[in-house]
Amino acid sequence: MILFGEHAVVSGAAALGAAVDLRVGARIEDLPGRLEISAPDLRMDLKGIALDPLTGEVLTKAGEEAAHAARYITAVLKEFGARDLRVTVESEIPPASGLGSSASVVVATLGALSRHLALDMSTEEIAMEAFRIERTVQEGLGSPTDTALAAFGGYRLVEGSARAVDLPEMKLVVGFTGLPHDTRAEVSKVQSFRARRPEIVDPIFRAIGEISRLAPELIREGRLEELGELMNTNHGLLEAVGVGTRELSELVYASRGGGQAFGAKLTGAGGGGCMIALPRPGPGGVLRAMTAIDQARGEPFSVVTGCQGLRIEDPGEVR
Amino acid sequence: MILFGEHAVVSGAAALGAAVDLRVGARIEDLPGRLEISAPDLRMDLKGIALDPLTGEVLTKAGEEAAHAARYITAVLKEFGARDLRVTVESEIPPASGLGSSASVVVATLGALSRHLALDMSTEEIAMEAFRIERTVQEGLGSPTDTALAAFGGYRLVEGSARAVDLPEMKLVVGFTGLPHDTRAEVSKVQSFRARRPEIVDPIFRAIGEISRLAPELIREGRLEELGELMNTNHGLLEAVGVGTRELSELVYASRGGGQAFGAKLTGAGGGGCMIALPRPGPGGVLRAMTAIDQARGEPFSVVTGCQGLRIEDPGEVR
């Protein structure tokens, strides 16, 4: 997830991303003469899927969402000419929620394929290849941060290039509005606003970049109240560039209200998707924030930031 | 009301204010041997009020709100050593809503007193004197813009000093949260945030100032859709500095929703008080925005901006 800096990072400002403990698992088994892709959590189950042998396009589609996830998985398979396989992808990440599920799916599938085909790719190679594949599927849109976080885990500060930053884990509460969002549309809306009103949007992006640069120190030193304040400020700045929604705002205020959380903001492209809240430490903090989000008709789940990225597990232990 | 630039103006950024057609009327009559102040709309009715002859303080108080309004009225009377009067103040402005009711009360009372005592003060003199009195009552806090708008009407662009700008009238819808706010507390909160995080707050104020400078051209040319977009951006920036509330946000989103309004923002110090929405032109635009605010549990009223300021009417016609 993006903790700070979404949208501004597109124009060169700093952003801070974190891997979270919502995991995507990919398992690959031999299946001579056939290709099966199954991703039940992504509402997708394509048995005997047919790929166009020239373009690699999925010829059998099972609805928009399935096709969406299938595009990423088949793009990975196509890259390595992989056939005669059963690919099973399990995901704890709500699709189209802005939590980088596509990057995680690509990294997991690549990791499993590398192992299955004994390609022995390094995590660096997997991260780079995953970014390339994701950007191809998304026709030029894509962030190397999403795929790097899925591959390496931890935290990454993006400022021009991305670098890992060593920070302690944090408990956050995510609230999903249940509304999908369209990253491409939101990014293009904000960038077009910036083109029309650079004198307004550039200072906003500057303020966002400053927040991203300040945040690592606050996380390192456990200054969570100040971190929450910056989340609130970053949320307002995202509303200012037009990617807030009524539903996101309701979850943000619900989670802040009554002192449940130090701060809250939307995460990702906005226009739908998820918000995150930083609950007060101590017993009940996470539960109070989750309850507030639930009562505001959001779907709450708790996550830990800064977790492990790609790991290879023995068959049967995929998760 | 402040259209754009609240809080940022405290640190020198531009702001745009407008007089609205919510009027305060003050009537002054001789009442030998007594002093009566009556302001029923401000929930105040002090018959036979006693003033401390040395300090001019109100010795008879009738609750917090009455005392609040009484402080302004008695400050004007004290300034001119006025006694033996009945002062009647009628107000259409919700008190403590951030719509400058205190400035209007002071200007109206001064205007009536100037006429009653044949002081023949000019509007300029009344505006300056009103500012001085308001700032004294508020112990140093006060904006010359509020009193100038109440005295002169129209629009004023504040940038260092304030100047009148000649712009057409506009229909706006105001939504009152019903929650009073504390201008001093909100201003001090924002200024202390700025002192702690100038690298974040200064660019935010710069963006707000740019909005205030752009707005007059859009109002002049009737580019209301673009004006609404800037209202939305300014609202986000006010949320970013911490003066948004859940109730304000609900009214803002309600009025924007379903295309009722081109844009909406909180107005004034925030932390309660009012928001304003710019309805689409044409039949039903104002009603739709008002209905949306009403359904979100706000108190809606429609206003016209850029109206007349102080005017002297014949006795019996006070309004």
Q: Where do the structural domains in chain A lie, given as residue ranges?
A: 24-158, 167-304
Q: Which residues contact A108 (CB under 8 A, 6 or more apart)?
A: A24, A25, A26, A89, A150, A310
Q: What is the predicted pLDDT for the residue at B94?
A: 75
Q: What is the predicted pLDDT for the residue at B63?
A: 46
Q: Find the CB nearest A236 among B203, B240, B253.
A: B240
Nearest CA in chain B to A252: B246
The answer to whether residue B48 scores a pLDDT higher than 80 is no
Q: Find the CB nearest A239 among B229, B236, B257.
A: B236
The answer to whether B100 is annotated as binding is yes
**In Å, how far is B142's CA from the nearest CA of chain A?**
26
Q: What is the mean pLDDT of each run of 10 residues along chain A (319 residues)?
A: 95 95 93 82 54 51 56 89 88 79 92 94 95 88 86 94 94 93 90 97 98 98 98 98 97 90 95 95 91 95 95 66
Q: Do B236 and A238 touch (CB under 8 A)?
A: yes
Give CA separation, A197 vs A95, A192, A241, A248, in Å.
Answer: 33, 9, 10, 25
Asked if residues B201 and B252 have their Cβ atoms less than 8 Å apart, the reply is: no
Q: In this predicted complex, what is the ipTM?
A: 0.87
Q: What is the predicted pLDDT for the residue at B226?
A: 97
Report residue A221 CA to chain centroid gap: 25
Asked if residues B99 and B20 have their Cβ atoms less than 8 Å apart, the reply is: yes
**In Å, how far is A203's CA from the nearest CA of chain B?**
5
Q: What is the predicted pLDDT for the residue at A32?
A: 87
Q: What is the predicted pLDDT for the residue at A316?
A: 53
Most confident of A142-151, B22-31, B46-55: B22-31
Q: What is the predicted pLDDT for the residue at A171?
A: 96
pLDDT tens figures, A272-286: 999 999 999 988 999
Q: What is the predicted pLDDT for the residue at B163?
A: 93
Q: Find the CB nearest B200 among A211, A235, A254.
A: A211
Chains A and B: how many Cβ contacts under 8 Å?
97
Q: What is the predicted pLDDT for the residue at A245?
A: 96
Positions of B marked active-site: 146
Catalytic status, residue A146:
yes
The residue among B237, B241, B251, B297 with the most chain A CBs within 10 A of its CB, best to mutate, is B237
The answer to whether B91 is annotated as binding is no
CATH architecture of B167-304: 2-Layer Sandwich (3.30)
Q: What is the predicted pLDDT for the residue at A223?
A: 98
**In Å, how far is B267's CA from the nearest CA of chain A?**
15
The whole-number average pLDDT for the span B10-35 is 92
Nearest to B115 by CA among B107, A124, B198: B107
Which residue out of A84, A120, A146, A314 is catalytically annotated?
Answer: A146
Most confident of B20-24, B41-45, B198-202: B198-202
The whole-number average pLDDT for the span B126-143 is 88
Q: What is the predicted pLDDT for the residue at B61?
A: 45
Report the 3 state secondary structure along B113-142: HHHHCCCCCCHHHHHHHHHHHHHHHCCCCC
Look at strands A85-91 and A155-159 and give their pairing: unpaired
**Residue A316 region by backbone torsions, left for phi larger than 0, else alpha for psi between -120 and 50, else beta:** left
Q: Which CATH number fits domain B24-158: 3.40.50.300, 3.40.50.2300, 3.20.20.80, 3.30.230.120?
A: 3.30.230.120
| C-alpha span between A257 and B35 (Å, rounded) | 47
| C-alpha span between A249 and A271 (Å, rounded) | 11
Nearest CA in chain B to A205: B203
The residue among A217, A234, A239, A293 with the most chain B CBs within 10 A of its CB, best to mutate, is A239
The answer to whether B38 is annotated as binding is no
pLDDT tens figures, B214-251: 999 999 999 999 999 999 999 999 999 999 999 999 99
pLDDT tens figures, B79-111: 998 888 989 888 888 766 778 888 999 999 999
- Give the pTM: 0.89
Q: What is the predicted pLDDT for the residue at A275?
A: 97
Q: What is the predicted pLDDT for the residue at A46?
A: 52
Asked if residues A15 and A213 have their Cβ atoms less than 8 Å apart, the reply is: no
Residue bearing the bigger pLDDT, B14 or B143: B14
